[in-house]
A and B are shown apart, each in its own frame.
Chain A
Amino acid sequence: MARITAGLTTSHVPAIGVAWDQGQQNSEYWAPVFGGYEWTKKWIADEDPDVIILVYNDHASAFSLEMIPTFAIGCADEFAIADEGWGPRPVPTVVGAPELACHLAQSLILDEFDMTVINKMDVDHGLTVPLSLMYGSPDVWPARVIPLAVNVVQYPPPTGERCFKLGQAIRRAVAAFDQDLNVQVWGTGGMSHQLQGTRAGLINKEFDGQILDNMTLDVAAIRAISHLQYLRESGSEGIEMVMWLIMRGALGDDAEELHRHYHVPASNTAVGHLVLRPTA
């Protein structure tokens, strides 16, 4: 049977992708950002997951304002790299896992999560920056990827509680899939940042630290954070952290922290990264 063996969280700042693509890994500015992922690169080479369920948000690349799905799952064979205004990133096409994705889509809908099913989609930095951070610059991505896109652009996004419950449903659905697959769930976005208005540049290290701690110590506290609290405490774009709860819900009741990285700044954003292992 398929099994979820680990989860991780990471910011997906577009400037990280630009810096990576321009070979700035060792620059004074970027070395501390990328350095925190060295542990994970070695770890994931050993873990070698077959499939990654990659929770992210689209940034006006695949979804315009014509249609705004709250939760959408990619069931295609592959996903092309989006042109976000400066040409597509020079990274490999993302190969999907359609059998598991179709199983997930159907299971989740029957489990009362009304997913939007995507059979064709370009993926943007929200999905490709995490892959670059964990895998570097391979010719092909070592794992297949199921994109799970969450609306965090137009209010209201799903609540953190709803995201956590979706993660729990993903755990049930993966466990019911009749193939021997090593599956990881990645929750991306965050941490505190604001990209608009006179409050742009807001960073809240204390709030971010509580999120990082409570991913293992007190998940209920994170589940209870309201949209308004995210807005006030972590900036208008900090709301992306609800996506971390999908990952956390998919790990089950208890998890241990294997690795942590936190750094300010990457462009406008606090970078946060956790690697978690389910223990229950």
Chain B
Amino acid sequence: MVDNSEFDDIPGTTVFTAERSHEGFHLNQFCMSLKDPKNRERFKSDEKSYLDRWPMTAGQKQAVLDRDYNSMIAQGGNVYFLSKIFSSDGVSFQTAAASMTGMSVDEYAQMMLDGGRSPEGLRSIRDGR
């Protein structure tokens, strides 16, 4: 058996495995549809109706409506696909990333200017390193 259990030992990180790709297939395909400007307009004019055209779970749809990217990722979303949502919203990758960390946009931007988040203590939950 393929053993992906080590991936779960990395703090604050969700690795997009084939299983997660399967779980998130329709969520990510919805995101992909936003490449088309006509679909972006349809989505923006009535988000809920547009989402109902996709066989996503209720939880996945709610996460999209809430723009809760951590929740989308927990339900099989992949950040490159999810980027179509925040790009459609006119939101930058840095702002979207900040929203996943619990930091304010300004705090996150300053952290990056200061050299980014140190890997110290964030490599392994088990080993605390």
Partner-B contacts on A (CB < 8 A): 14-15, 59-61, 64-66, 68, 82-87, 153-155, 192, 194-205, 207, 228, 231-233, 236, 264-265, 267-268, 270
CA distance A15 to B113 in the complex (A): 15
Picked from A85, A87, A192, A233, the residue with its CB within 8 Å of the CB of B84 is A85
The 5 closest A-B pairs by CB, nearest first: A203-B116, A85-B87, A199-B12, A198-B12, A265-B112
Picked from B69, B83, B92, B115, the residue with its CB within 8 Å of the CB of A84 is B83
A11 smallest CB distance to B (angstroms)? 13
Picked from B10, B12, B16, B29, the residue with its CB within 8 Å of the CB of A155 is B16
A197 to B117, Cβ gap below 8 A? Answer: no
B119 to A195, Cβ gap below 8 A? Answer: no
A83 to B21, Cβ gap below 8 A? Answer: no
Task: Given the known inter-chain contacts A60-B31, A65-B28, please indicate yes or no for A196 contacting B116, CB distance below 8 A.
Answer: no
B97 to A15, Cβ gap below 8 A? Answer: no
B15 smallest CB distance to A (angstroms)? 5
Which B residue sits closest to A197, measured CB to CB? B12
Picked from B36, B92, B94, B115, the residue with its CB within 8 Å of the CB of A264 is B115
B101 to A86, Cβ gap below 8 A? Answer: no
B14 to A197, Cβ gap below 8 A? Answer: yes
- Secondary structure at the B interface, as helix, strand, loop or mixed, is helix
A231 to B7, Cβ gap below 8 A? Answer: yes
B10 smallest CB distance to A (angstroms)? 6
CA distance A200 to B116 in the complex (A): 9
B28 to A232, Cβ gap below 8 A? Answer: no
CA distance A255 to B125 in the complex (A): 39
B25 to A267, Cβ gap below 8 A? Answer: no
B87 to A84, Cβ gap below 8 A? Answer: yes
* Chain A neighbourhood of B37, CB < 8 A: 83, 87
A195 smallest CB distance to B (angstroms)? 5
Picked from A84, A232, A264, the residue with its CB within 8 Å of the CB of B112 is A264
